Amino acid sequence: MKTIDPVVLQTARTFRVGPARTIFQVILPSATPMILAGARVALGLALVVAILGDMLASNGGLGFEIVDMQRAFMLPEMYAWVVVVSLLGLLQAFLFHRLESWLTFWARNNA
């Protein structure tokens, strides 16, 4: 709420926009970039925590495969799994960037 331009809120009040329309047409669109920035960080951390959880306390999954290959001294296979996880992270970042661009098409910097 603090990042929303007060002039925009005052303009909505001047035009007697109701509370529901103010939320959905003024506040949420203004807050969307900040919400998506937090979601981007959370999404990256979620992948790291999921892989770490697999490494520490799982009998299956990508993290388990990495640890299993490392314990068996199968280093090429271990690094192959690391590459798979890295590609998964890149794909996740790419798809989120596309979603972010679609949701905030109006906020693009045209300069």
Q: What letter would DSSP give residue 25? A: I
Contact residues for 77 (Cβ-Cβ < 8 A; gap 6+): 69
pLDDT of res. 6: 83
- pTM, two decimals, is 0.73
Range of the domain at 83: 6-107
Q: How far apart are CA 94 and CA 96, in angstroms?
A: 5
3-state secondary structure of 74: coil
Write the pLDDT tens digit of every residue in 16-54: 889 899 888 888 888 888 899 999 999 999 999 999 999
Q: Residue 74 falls within a domain, yes or no?
A: yes
Q: Residue 1 falls within a domain, yes or no?
A: no
| Range scoring the smallest mean pLDDT among 78-82, 88-92, 107-111 | 107-111
Task: Quote the number of domains for the chain.
Answer: 1
| Other CB atoms within 10 A of residue 85 CB | 18
Q: Residue 11 falls within a domain, yes or no?
A: yes
